[in-house]
Chain A
Amino acid sequence: MELSGSQIVIEELKANGVEIAFGIPGGAIMPFYDEIMKSEFPHILTRHEQGATHMADGYARVSGKVAAVITTSGPGATNTITGLCNAQMDSSPIVAITGQVATPTIGTDAFQEADTYGCSIPVTKHNWLVKDVRELQGVVREAVRVATTGRPGPVVIDFPKDVQVAMTEYNPLEKTETALSAEPVFRIPEPDTKAIERLLEELERSEKPVIIAGAGIIKGGAAAELAEFARSAEIPVINTLLGMGGFPGSDPLFLGMPGMHGTAYANMALCECDLLINLGGRFDDRVTGKVAEFAPGATIVHVDIDAAELGKRVETDIPILADVRDVLALLNTQARKKDRQAWLGKVEAWKRDYPLQYDWDGSIKPQYVIEQIQEVSEGEGTYISGVGQHQMWAAQYLRFNEPNSWVSSGGLGTMGFGLPASIGAKVGRPDREVWLIDGDGSFSMSLVELATAATYNIPVKIAILNNNYLGMVRQWQELFFEKRYSHVHFPKSPDFAKIAEGYGVRGFDVKDVDQVRSTLEQAAEIDGPVVMNFHVNQEENVWPMVPSGAGNHEMQLGPQSTEKLT
């Protein structure tokens, strides 16, 4: 059967489990959009291509499925770069299909021509420029496979206009067949039995073990295995920012987040532990602080699916290149229980003595809003954040009890991620209520996607913690630049509730702490998107804090306590 390039891409997306696309048409992608319409391929029209990439990212993180992003050439394609980079940093799969000028004009500075292939190399797991329609079937198949297997990540298919209309013979393949002869990108090795034995020996010897569980637990579907291991071996668990939900936040063994804005007790456990088992985390600099002073007394075990992560930042005693789920399955059959009441008692005491806390002064405290969101949603929602102070408070004060219930931009720290990611998350898991906790600065960077939420009536509940500041930068300026607030103040913050109404979205403006709860309850009842503009305390800081470049033991607890931990 003869099909056009556009038809082949649609057929292959469907055959390989891609169920939806986010995108915007334009000149160089029109033949493909024509086919999207004819084939009725599900598609959400966004207002900006960056929004489309974050939507696909949020969609993937909650559903475990991969979505397509479709843009035109030139600016359409370059607008995806931030979103692709974000997905690359946080190991989120995206298949981006970018229109390109016709092959004979490539390289002539044609209208809306950009070197999408070259631009996307450093921000993707792999990318293709398809110049021959006969390659298309294999490329789409490989693209989905590369994006979703091993350590997931974004891919780009640059799709010239003439290839979109070129005809070629098309034969559907079985799902498992690959049309290219390429070696698998990732062959995941079996866990090295010697390394596992060493880990078991260390575990047996250890009096003070602790686990750091990263996003690998969630992406590897290993949350149940982790819970079984931690509970049976009685090891406290620290979740990284992106690992939240990989271990139940309600479990007594849960220690919250490590590092720069981690809990005091997580950082204390890291400083004192004698065995640190990192399961699918990447020892980010925000986690370790000064590497030389990180977990100084510990034997360090690192399990990761990506060889390039092992030993990258922290010298590792027992590196294990494997699927974290396979390793946990082995540990669950072989690890023996050991009585470590003294250690668990010590950790418990830290949790009691150094809890997360904030003061009351009659203003709306951002932490309070987050606690109320947790209560109103009964912890059953999907929670999304932008990037900034609100993100740290959300990670501190929300309690995630299942995987894929928390979506945040970790590695790249992309302000503006929140709103489009929430829309994608709602599309990916429509059964769950989606709550976006955003800052006024972060929200402003992508609020245009309110139009998308309104058009498709995607009911995301948006809580803006509005402090009229780029709050995280202001906090650093306060602490490290002697309060010289250089260009972080928004004295004329817009009326976000009115803006929402302008987009046809319900808006609330909340200035009184007594209205916080009732507004959230009202929002939960509304069948559609809602924007709540909470005027929070403007100079609230995120505590605890490890100053940039310091060791985790140099953590400052905040104004309530001048005590420095040593």
Chain B
Amino acid sequence: MRQVFSILVNNHAGVLSHVSGLFARRGYNIESIAAGPTENPEATRIVIVAFGEEETLEQIAHQLRKLYDVLEVEQLQYNRSVTRELVLATVSADADKRTEVLQIANAFGANIVNITDNTVTLEASGNDHKTRILIKALERYGISNMARTGMIALPFDEMTDEWEPLA
């Protein structure tokens, strides 16, 4: 299964090694990892997306909580959290194709950050679903370069089960 961990840690050197090491020791790939400051200057939030057996991921969550610098571990559920990712992609688009690519960008609310004779570079943000569809649409034209931030996420405690996150 795929799991999103939201991990609040002390802003100390070495924390990321302690955290990512727990995944590596069990041979689990981290699909994405994103870390950044929070409202509290002494705390950092690390969001990790990982695949694994449910029980192993549960075990990793317990092990994460034992780490000295880990303050809080949440395993986020899709219908109770909001997730975002930023994608930068350079797409092959000569004069013939440029309009099509710009239309796709427009449809997804992506910003254009650079245009050359043969390429369009765009920036898009959204949840997992949205970024996946966008990338798929752009792949037809050829993506020559791409960078993604990895998912960041926040839980929404008061959401109901029916709530579906929108783009």
Contacts and interface: CB of A to CB of B under 8 A. Distances in A.
Main secondary structure of the interface of A (DSSP, over half): mixed
A287 to B, nearest CB: 18
B13 interface: yes
Given A117-B14, A182-B10, A307-B62, A146 B21 contact: no
Contacts of A307: 62, 65-66
Given A121-B17, A121-B18, A129-B13, A182 B66 contact: no
Nearest to B25: A122
Contact of B63 (A126, A129, A146, A308): A308
B22 to A, nearest CB: 9
Contacts, number: 34
Contact of A121 (B21, B58, B59, B66): B21
A306 interface: yes
Interface of B: 10, 13-14, 17-18, 21, 25, 58-59, 62-63, 65-69, 71
Contact of A183 (B59, B63, B71): B71
18 contacts: A118-B17, A121-B14, A121-B21, A122-B21, A122-B25, A126-B68, A129-B13, A129-B14, A146-B68, A182-B10, A183-B71, A307-B65, A307-B66, A308-B59, A308-B62, A308-B65, A312-B59, A312-B62
A185 interface: yes
A182 B69 CA distance: 8
A311 B58 CA distance: 10
B15 to A, nearest CB: 11
B129 to A, nearest CB: 33
Nearest to A128: B14
Contacts of B68: 125-126, 146, 182, 185
Given A117-B14, A121-B21, A122-B25, 12 more contacts: A118-B17, A121-B17, A129-B13, A146-B68, A182-B68, A185-B66, A307-B62, A307-B66, A308-B62, A308-B65, A311-B58, A312-B59
B48 to A, nearest CB: 17
Interface of A: 117-118, 121-122, 125-127, 129, 146, 182-183, 185, 306-308, 311-312
A186 to B, nearest CB: 8
A117 B15 CA distance: 11
A117 B12 CA distance: 13
Contacts of A183: 71
A307 B61 CA distance: 10
A126 B58 CA distance: 21
A183 B58 CA distance: 23
Interface centre among A117, A182, A308, A312 (most CB of B within 10 A): A308
B61 to A, nearest CB: 9
Contacts of A117: 14
A383 to B, nearest CB: 31
A434 to B, nearest CB: 33
Interface centre among B25, B68, B71 (most CB of A within 10 A): B68
Contacts of B13: 129
A126 to B, nearest CB: 4
A269 B18 CA distance: 41
A476 B71 CA distance: 45
A312 B18 CA distance: 20
Contacts of A185: 66, 68
B13 to A, nearest CB: 7
A122 B67 CA distance: 11
Given A182-B10, A183-B71, A312-B59, A306 B66 contact: yes
Contacts of B63: 308
A308 B66 contact: yes
